[in-house]
Structure 1
Amino acid sequence: MKTNAVLLILFLILTLPSFAQDRTSGHNFATRSEIIAQNGMVATSQPLATQAALEVLRNGGNAIDAAITANAVLGVVEPQSNGIGGDLFAIVWDAETKQLYGLNASGRSPYNMSINDIKAKGLTKIPLFGPLSISVPGCVDGWYTLHERFGSLEMQELLQPAIDYAKNGYPVSEIIANDWKAVADRLNDQKGFQRVFAPNGQAPAKGDIFRNPALATTLSKIAEEGKSAFYKGELMKEMVAFLKDQGSYLSEQDFIDHTSDWVEPVSSNYRGYDVWELPPNGQGIAALQILNILEQYDLQSMGFGSAEYFHVFTEAKKLAYEDRAKFYADPEFNEIPVDYLISKEYANQRKELINLEEAADSYPAGEAIETGNTIYLTVADKDGNMISLIQSIYWEFGSGVVNPDHGFAFQNRGEMFTLEEGHFNQYEPHKRPFHTIIPAFVTKNGQPYMSFGVMGGAMQPQGHAQIVVNMVDFGMNLQEAGDAPRIRHMGSSSPTGSKMTGGGTIILESGIDYDVVKALMKKGHRIGFGSGSYGGYQAIMWDAQRKIYFGASDSRKDGQAAGW
């Protein structure tokens, strides 16, 4: 039976359609050329959001203004992935001060819910869906915190495109329609979800015009009254009353006390490029840990797509994710050794555990299997400001809890806590859960080089590392780096409490040679295939010499990069 399963997987991999083969330049897996422009660039996972943000740039807004508009529109047109019921993280390059700024706009758990309250319900973990998984949404506060520091246009102007799309409707795009339909049946027992997102008992199909007048009203209140409407006003009181009726422990005080935090991005140099991530409670430093280990190998000689490269990458990922499972959590509750974890010294120690000929079943965490749906976007303006922004409600439609009077789904980030007492990421009141969503940035010689992100739960640090390696080691351009076939290792220990067994599985995207698959299996790797498992990618690169921007958006999403 095991042999037959392996043969079936290999058959699927080899018979899946590959990328276009008839391009006159570049790699054959590239889906399109890079977008090139002088005055500004936007890259998002949905063309309507890209165009709305581009219009903000044309009207004199800056990159941060345009990013807020893009995110607000994405909350309307890609509601299964993001929206005002979720959290936000961003890295901003400010052209005036020539510095990077990090924003953590993630929410916290309820004051009034204890770990004993959860266990008293007979639970061994926080449920994935439903009211217990809801933490305070940080997105709206994140918008206003970004705007207060860097914005130039009025918030009402920035939110108006999203209000218009919610009120007047928009045609649902292909990938979004597919994802929406895939989860609609699971959530149709949630009356609020059905009324808002499946009004006729089913999800909208590709090209159907979808309207969300309740969300238009909610966004209008936020635009008129500011973030206080969401965290202190009547809208907040209505949300709390609704959530309490659903069984949530969130209170008015949880919303009133919510704050976003400016944080210092952290970096590691990879072959001359400084790669920047945000510190925990997110998982960004896992990408830096992976790159620090990979830097010790001659990947260029191994070659892109080789079994040698995929093996080393997978083992480096396993090592980093064991530390991720042990250490990554809310830094206000733990002393997290971030500097040591991303140091070259530590990477040298960890690298010694790798056997180049054999896959490891497991690695110990250093001494010192979740999924998700997310949007990533990036914007750059004529003055040189750039923003890398990621926002999510975690799973498709988050907790599934939707107030039909407000028109959005609340996130289920609280599910990421573990109930294992003594763990860095154990559940505690007013605590931020471990987070998967991470924006990234690259500088070179102290100047901005690239703003990028890869969506997709635990895929994100793996994706970040692969993008950097594709460009630095394998010489790919910005579009090719995202279009290149990816791998995703699944099975590592997780901050939620799940454990790695038997070395996990390498999930291979179509386009990987059969000989490579065989070579990986000989090293002891289990091989699998997972449609939709490889994330989506957007990026902007700045060419300082010619004063132009390059933009890219991969074909795994409905996205678009556009400039002017």
Structure 2
Amino acid sequence: MKRILSLFLLIAAALPALAQQTQKPVLHGKNWMAITGKPLAATAGAMTFQKGGNAVDAACAMLAATCTMWDVLSWGGETQALIYNPKTKKVIAINALGVAPTGATVKFFKSQGYNFPPQYGPLAATTPGTPGGLLHMLANYGTLSLEQVLAPAMELAAGYPMEAQTANSIEKNKELIKQWPYSKKVFLTHPGEEREAPEAGEIFVQKDLLQTLTKMVETEREALKSGKSRKEAIMAAYDRFYKGDIAKEFVRGSKEQGGLITMEDLAKWKVIEEEPVVANYKGIDVYKLQQWTQGPVMLQALNILENFDLKKMGYNSPQYIHTVYQAMNMAFADRDFYYGDPYFEPKEPIKGLMSKEYAKQRASLIRPDKNDPNIGPGDPYAFEGRKNPYKKMLKERGYELDTTKRNFAPTHDTRNGSSSIDYQNNLWLGTTTVEAADAEGWVVSITPSGGWVPATIAGTTGIGMSQRMQSFVLDPALNPYNVVEPGKRPRVTLTPSMALKDDKPYLSFAVQGGDTQDQNLLQFFLNMVEFDMNVQQAAEAPNFNTNQLWLSLGGTKTDDRKPKPGHILLNDNTAQEVRDALKKMGYTLSFDDRTSGPINAIYFDWKHGSLWGGSSNHGEDYGIGW
């Protein structure tokens, strides 16, 4: 009987999830959809739509609100976005990632005793990107004024009831927060008491941040009065933030606490609007940001998996899990060595990395019955007609690029580094997501981050500084494309996603969770395309994660970030037969009760002319449709 029941569970796991029950319902809308990481922030999006704004206006309002509410990010962080423009029928990529400041060199950080730039504090900060990204998107693609879009965030800054999640995070990190005087003043509302952080439901007031946002709105208002256009007025606020009195106080507050950012760093930084990277999977065009993010990882994995019959394998069957795991490992091995800022030398071999022929070669290396703990970076240069300038370096690390031979791991990759708990926590490090769409056809997907608790607040600006410097490397042998340098952007995990089918929006989706982002987004996409799940089912469905990659966040020692070959995270509900099969393939298993993301997404139902929203069941993620 037990064997029959187990067989039934295996078969059930492989069936399409049409009848799968979800903890949260699908959201339905005809006119618009607004989804993000906090209920009040989703409400800010809904309020903006009700004012007559489009999806870009609403997305900017939600971005401003989530930053103000410290939803694992703040105003000093970074913004990465994809926008579908219905007028041009093109997907636009927004690069609003900050850069390494003056003085941020390998020599400097090594002199401080670091193997990677620090995880917290003013030396972890790139220049702020989110204000510029928000203002650029609003000025160029929105319809409302900055004052209208920032109104909800300003009301939140004047005082909002803080959720338990953020309040408890402040209490947990209060000893770090006490190192920075401006952070201590803002966050620790009950100094000297047993609990120094705000309580859940306490009205949290941010006077300094409100003053900063007010200055930006006043600048816009004055520019409009002087006859400036809407766009010019918004960009006047941009200039005040990056070149005016806000910038001066930000720099002063940063330097006072040991930071490196200068006025010139802020003035020289610009938002970059660029072409996204795209891959076609079975007739669906999937868009990602360029290789300054990890986004192409998902596209590389899709190219590899296109060579397998995943549907026949069955959802989360042992063979499916094994095949997807191997494809992800190959893509991450390439990410860990070849991805970096495309505006700096050396130039990444992105054409080769995205080649379908390269993917076929990589797919041929997958062993059908065993995990390969030794898979390393491939040689994409061969697929764009160039010689690999780092072939010698890779061989010195122990990687063999000759595809007639097996790859084997460098000795430092096969040793376990930090504890499993620390590694897993750093693998999952969160942020938030913003998804918006409207009846006119505008679609926005954003994965903003940076400046999370415990953040160093820069002077009296009320703005938490980014911690994204930690994603650089100091050793070119780890990744010659991602070595820290002033003015350079680190290779980040943040990865909004968009898909078009028949030249029309099909999906807009994003997820928080550090290095797991493109792992979970890949499986979410396959859940819908291969296994016929609806958008909420796909958002909640159990996924699995590989630990066979270098961590992008956490830990300042090399041992803290080393890959864990064969380590896999599975859902608690995984059938025993699946567990046993994976163990035989050489996997080391760990488990969690929720392994889906958390994912937020919008599906476009062209048959009925409606929007379907999926909002994560992990925590506070929330969506509103109309």
Residue 214 (structure 2) aligns with: 220
For the residues of structure 1 that align with 2:200 and 2:548, how far apart are their CA atoms?
34
Residue 610 (structure 2) aligns with: 548
Alignment partner of 2:460: what SS?
coil
Residue 68 (structure 2) aligns with: 76
> What per-residue deviation string (whole Å, max 9, x for no partner) do you get for residues 400-449 of structure 1?
31136222311111111111146111111111111111110000011111
Residue 354 (structure 1) aligns with: 366
User: C-alpha displacement at 1:357, in angstroms?
Assistant: 0.9
Number of residue pairs matched by the alignment? 536
- Are 1:335 and 2:347 matched, yes or no? yes
**Residue 183 of structure 2 is aligned with which of 180, 183, 193?**
193
Residue 36 (structure 2) aligns with: 44
- The structure that has the greater radius of gyration is 2
Equivalent AA in structure 1 for residue 265 of structure 2:
D
**Residue 504 of structure 2 is aligned with which of 441, 447, 453?**
447
User: C-alpha displacement at 1:117, in angstroms?
Assistant: 2.0
Tell me whether 111-120 or 231-240 shows the greater mean CA deviation. 111-120
User: C-alpha displacement at 1:339, in angstroms?
Assistant: 2.2
2:83, 2:442 within 8 Å by CA — same for their partners in 1? yes
For the residues of structure 1 that align with 2:594 and 2:170, how far apart are their CA atoms?
14
1:397, 1:410 within 8 Å by CA — same for their partners in 2? no
1:555–1:174: structure 2 CA closer, same or farther, 3 Å change rule?
Answer: farther
Residue 438 (structure 1) aligns with: 495
**Residue 315 of structure 2 is aligned with which of 259, 284, 304?**
304
- Are 1:419 and 2:474 matched, yes or no? yes
1:215–1:535: structure 2 CA closer, same or farther, 3 Å change rule?
Answer: farther
Residue 224 (structure 2) aligns with: none
User: C-alpha displacement at 1:529, in angstroms?
Assistant: 3.1
Tell me whether 172-181 or 193-202 shows the greater mean CA deviation. 172-181
For the residues of structure 1 that align with 2:172 and 2:331, how far apart are their CA atoms?
32
Residue 5 (structure 1) aligns with: none
- Are 1:521 and 2:583 matched, yes or no? yes
User: C-alpha displacement at 1:179, in angstroms?
Assistant: 4.2
1:42, 1:379 within 8 Å by CA — same for their partners in 2? yes
- Are 1:486 and 2:480 matched, yes or no? no
User: C-alpha displacement at 1:530, in angstroms?
Assistant: 5.2
Residue 503 (structure 1) aligns with: 565
**Residue 377 of structure 1 is aligned with which of 426, 429, 434?**
434
1:176, 1:558 within 8 Å by CA — same for their partners in 2? no
For the residues of structure 2 that align with 1:319 and 1:151, how far apart are their CA atoms?
39
Alignment partner of 1:453: what SS?
strand
User: C-alpha displacement at 1:562, in angstroms?
Assistant: 1.2
User: C-alpha displacement at 1:324, in angstroms?
Assistant: 0.3
For the residues of structure 1 that align with 2:200 and 2:593, how far apart are their CA atoms?
19
1:178–1:164: structure 2 CA closer, same or farther, 3 Å change rule?
Answer: same
> What per-residue deviation string (whole Å, max 9, x for no partner) do you get for residues 369-417 of structure 1?
65432111111112111111110016x426x311362223111111111
RMSD: 2.0
- Are 1:460 and 2:517 matched, yes or no? yes
For the residues of structure 1 that align with 2:113 and 2:91, how far apart are their CA atoms?
46
- Are 1:268 and 2:262 matched, yes or no? no
For the residues of structure 2 that align with 1:305 and 1:184, how far apart are their CA atoms?
41
**Residue 293 of structure 2 is aligned with which of 269, 282, 300?**
282
For the residues of structure 2 that align with 1:101 and 1:118, how far apart are their CA atoms?
35
User: C-alpha displacement at 1:295, in angstroms?
Assistant: 1.8
User: C-alpha displacement at 1:218, in angstroms?
Assistant: 1.5
For the residues of structure 2 that align with 1:506 and 1:327, how far apart are their CA atoms?
24
Residue 232 (structure 1) aligns with: 243
1:553–1:126: structure 2 CA closer, same or farther, 3 Å change rule?
Answer: same
> What per-residue deviation string (whole Å, max 9, x for no partner) do you get for residues 107-143 of structure 1?
1111233322222223332111122211101111101
Equivalent AA in structure 2 for residue 346 of structure 1:
Y
> What per-residue deviation string (whole Å, max 9, x for no partner) do you get for residues 240-296 of structure 1?
011111111111000001101011011111122111101121000001111111222
Q: Percent identity at matched positions?
A: 31
1:382–1:522: structure 2 CA closer, same or farther, 3 Å change rule?
Answer: same
> What per-residue deviation string (whole Å, max 9, x for no partner) do you get for residues 130-187 of structure 1?
22211101111101111121111100110011001110x2222354445444434443
User: C-alpha displacement at 1:297, in angstroms?
Assistant: 1.6
User: C-alpha displacement at 1:29, in angstroms?
Assistant: 4.8
For the residues of structure 2 that align with 1:83 and 1:121, how far apart are their CA atoms?
27
Residue 115 (structure 2) aligns with: 124
For the residues of structure 1 that align with 2:169 and 2:323, how far apart are their CA atoms?
33
For the residues of structure 2 that align with 1:34 and 1:534, how far apart are their CA atoms?
16
Residue 17 (structure 1) aligns with: none
Equivalent AA in structure 1 for residue 334 of structure 2:
D
1:181–1:113: structure 2 CA closer, same or farther, 3 Å change rule?
Answer: same
Alignment partner of 2:432: what SS?
strand
Equivalent AA in structure 2 for residue 442 of structure 1:
A
- Are 1:98 and 2:89 matched, yes or no? yes
User: C-alpha displacement at 1:508, in angstroms?
Assistant: 1.7
**Residue 471 of structure 1 is aligned with which of 523, 528, 535?**
528
> What per-residue deviation string (whole Å, max 9, x for no partner) do you get for residues 459-491 of structure 1?
111011011100011110000000001211113
Tell me whether 263-272 or 182-191 shows the greater mean CA deviation. 182-191
For the residues of structure 2 that align with 1:80 and 1:435, how far apart are their CA atoms?
18
Can you give the 5+ residue segments of structure 1 that lack an aligned partner in the other structure? Answer: 1-24
Equivalent AA in structure 1 for residue 198 of structure 2:
P
2:567, 2:590 within 8 Å by CA — same for their partners in 1? yes
Q: TM-score, normalised by structure 2?
A: 0.82
Alignment partner of 2:366: what SS?
coil
For the residues of structure 2 that align with 1:532 and 1:476, how far apart are their CA atoms?
18
1:373, 1:393 within 8 Å by CA — same for their partners in 2? no
